Amino acid sequence: MISPKFPSTFWSYEPILELVGKKALMPPLGLITVAALLPDTWTCRLVDCNVRPVTEEEWAWAEIVLLSGMIVQKPYLLELVAEAKRRHKPVVVGGPYATALPDELREAGVDFLVLDEAELSLPPFLEALARGDVGGTFTAGGERPEVTTTPAPRFDLLDLGAYDSMSVQFSRGCPFNCEFCDIIVLYGRRPRTKQPAQVLAEMDRLHQLGWRGTIFMVDDNFVGNHKAAKELLRELIGWQAARGFPFQFDTEASIDLAQDTELLDLMVAARFRSVFLGIETPDAASLERTFKHQNLRQPLLEAVDAITGSGIRVMAGFILGFDGEAAGAGDRIVAFVERTGIPTAFVSMLQALPGTALWDRLTREGRLRDAGTASGNQTYLANFIPTRPLSEVAGEFVGAFERLYEPEAYLDRTWRYCLALGATRRVAPPVQGVALSTRELVKTLPALLRILWRQGLVRHTRWRFWRYLASVIRRNPGALTEYFTVCALNEHFLVFRQLVRHSLELQLAAVHAGGPSAIGPEPVVAPRPASAETCVSGGASA
Ligand code: SF4
């Protein structure tokens, strides 16, 4: 089993992984779940290319090669397919990319395509293999499995020390209907949840294997079913308390979380540390157009403040390029982020992903660009012709990104946010604050020293860093770990914003050379702020 590399993205965090001495952010949960579904008679070896390359010995040993990946991993996955075929190995591919674009993989020479969710499509593949078939495509036939029968992933196949976080999945699917979203296409609108006992068994396994620290609940929407999430959290709190709270959690959720105080309190008590919210835009008209109605039920500022006040750090996604969007959307996003203080704001241009309602509509309207190439990468231009000039949207995107991650602005926002973070955190037993156990301290000390070195000595913002650190210690010591975490992220964003600008400029030049890029007149490229790069140790990486 081979997991392809990820390109450099907003979420790849390479400089931070270096700071904390890790190789990759999270393990390939899909592949280790498939490994648990394979017959006991199979011997599996797993190589995550984000950790290390496949050795010659491993290539020679393998009788069959199984690959899985997302669209964003496509180039690396195709390289692995070519390498396996060069070595005359049968190749099996599953996962989101294969499910969305199987023809590309057929053309690449893949032997077996195991599409949709493996609980249903893997058994017919295994039967075909046992019959002696040498190829085929296997699907779930439009069905979706209950995840109550999904076995615990084979965490034992992982090199645990290589990862910053572990991943655990509680649910699949989301009840909402955002036009651009491929989650509801792949996993449906009825959230399917595991039983609490199943999730706790996975926690037990990770605990036995020696994992301590962060677990990312990789659900599409952890609160897609509030009732089921609460049932899990009640059990999880007891499990954590009985073991001295060995884990802390990050996750993704829809913004209706903010209106359910009981759910928020349970998440805080279970030690959820941060949550990613798809805010998308502060423009109500765009939210209406993209059918993100759940973001209109409560003022967005109020919702973010409620989650921040509970003690859970908000990370948020924003999108530019919705149909009918008025000029200045980038400025409005920056103003929203500054007002809420959200340190980690992920901005991208709208992408149409295969199979989504957006993709279908744009296809009907003849607006997909480059035959509708979808990269899934935020450093790419919109893959369709927007209703305002593409270069105007791109200019706002680059400008917003540069302003949000201008070092002084980022530190100012981080400081304000840490002071606002969580009354709960201040009154609850400090889990992530100053009260670290000796074991945790020993583990985190090298990373902490490296952060202090980079942020407190090397960067030109060092005095601001120390001033804010003193202020957080004095005024909200429970937020200290978050302050260090968010400052460490700055190491990545400093570099990544250069990559965004460079990548978008190259793509825009190509578009200008090749044809129309908007419905309407094409203006000159919107001016972007002068680079305020301050990274002493170097410029952009690619
Ligand atoms: S809330 Fe998130 S996961 Fe759910 S449909 Fe919208 S974008 Fe998709």
How many Å lie between the centroid of ligand 1 and the Cα of residue 176? 6
How many Å lie between the centroid of ligand 1 and the Cα of residue 294? 10
Nearest-CA residue for ligand 1 atom 8 is: 181
Q: Is the CB of 181 under 6 A from ligand 1?
A: yes
The atom number, within ligand 1, closest to the CA of 177 reads 5
Angle subtended by helix axes 226-242 and 261-269, to nearest 10: 20
Distance CA(102)–CA(146), nearest Å, equals 24
Q: Is the CB of 334 under 6 A from ligand 1?
A: no
pLDDT at 515: 56
Nearest-CA residue for ligand 1 atom 6 is: 178
Q: Is the CB of 114 under 6 A from ligand 1?
A: no
Half-sphere exposure of 173 (CA within 13 A, CB side): 16
> What are the backbone angles phi and psi of residue 414, rounded to the nearest 5°?
-60, -45
The atom number, within ligand 1, closest to the CA of 175 reads 4
Amino acid residing at 371: A
Radius of gyration of the chain (CA): 23
> Which are the contacts of 373, defined by CB distance < 8 A and separation ≥ 6?
383
Alpha helices (H) along 341-389: 357-364
Q: Is the CB of 278 under 6 A from ligand 1?
A: yes
**Model confidence over 154-209: pLDDT tens digits?**
999 999 999 999 999 999 999 999 999 999 998 999 999 999 999 999 999 999 99
Q: Is the CB of 171 under 6 A from ligand 1?
A: no
CB atoms within 10 A of CB 366: 8
Q: Best mutation site among 177, 189, 218, 254 for ligand 1, i.e. most ligand atoms within 8 A of its Cβ?
A: 254
For tokens 């583990």, the residue is 443
Distance CA(349)–CA(384), nearest Å, equals 10
Q: Is the CB of 178 under 6 A from ligand 1?
A: yes
User: Are the C-beta atoms of 369 and 512 separated by less than 8 Å?
Assistant: no
**Distance (Å) of CA 193 to CA 187, 205, 220, 280, 515:** 12, 19, 11, 26, 47
User: Are the C-beta atoms of 92 and 115 separated by less than 8 Å?
Assistant: no
How many Å lie between the centroid of ligand 1 and the Cα of residue 178? 6
pLDDT at 524: 30
Q: Is the CB of 222 under 6 A from ligand 1?
A: no
How many Å lie between the centroid of ligand 1 and the Cα of residue 278? 7
How many Å lie between the centroid of ligand 1 and the Cα of residue 43? 37
Q: Is the CB of 176 under 6 A from ligand 1?
A: yes
Q: Is the CB of 206 under 6 A from ligand 1?
A: no
pLDDT at 28: 97
Alpha helices (H) along 101-195: 102-107, 118-131, 183-187
Q: Is the CB of 183 under 6 A from ligand 1?
A: yes
How many Å lie between the centroid of ligand 1 and the Cα of residue 101? 21
Alpha carbon 100 to chain centroid, angstroms: 18
Q: Best mutation site among 221, 322, 356 for ligand 1, i.e. most ligand atoms within 8 A of its Cβ?
A: 221
* Bridge partners, residue 280, by sequence: 318
**Distance (Å) of CA 208 to CA 160, 203, 204, 211:** 12, 9, 6, 7
Distance CA(384)–CA(367), nearest Å, equals 5
Exposed e or buried b per residue across 202-216, where buried means at least 16 C-beta atoms within 10 angstroms of its C-beta: bbebbeeeebbbbbb
pLDDT tens over the chain, length 542 residues: 999 999 877 666 777 788 788 999 999 999 999 999 999 999 999 999 999 999 999 999 999 999 999 988 999 999 999 999 999 999 999 999 999 899 999 999 999 999 999 999 999 999 999 999 999 999 999 999 999 999 999 999 999 999 999 999 999 999 999 999 999 998 999 999 999 999 999 999 999 999 999 999 999 999 999 999 999 999 999 999 999 999 999 999 999 999 999 999 999 999 999 999 999 999 999 999 999 999 999 999 999 999 999 999 999 999 999 999 999 999 999 999 999 999 999 999 999 998 999 999 999 999 998 655 566 566 788 999 999 999 999 999 999 988 999 999 999 999 999 999 985 454 444 444 344 555 655 667 777 888 888 888 888 899 999 999 999 999 999 899 899 989 988 878 877 888 888 888 888 888 777 654 544 333 333 322 222 222 222 222 22
How many Å lie between the centroid of ligand 1 and the Cα of residue 55? 39
Q: Best mutation site among 172, 178, 287, 356 for ligand 1, i.e. most ligand atoms within 8 A of its Cβ?
A: 178
Global confidence as pTM: 0.88
Q: Is the CB of 173 under 6 A from ligand 1?
A: no
How many Å lie between the centroid of ligand 1 and the Cα of residue 181? 6
Q: Is the CB of 276 under 6 A from ligand 1?
A: no
Q: Is the CB of 174 under 6 A from ligand 1?
A: yes
Distance CA(30)–CA(167), nearest Å, equals 10
How many Å lie between the centroid of ligand 1 and the Cα of residue 190? 12
The atom number, within ligand 1, closest to the CA of 280 reads 7
The atom number, within ligand 1, closest to the CA of 181 reads 8
Q: Is the CB of 254 under 6 A from ligand 1?
A: yes
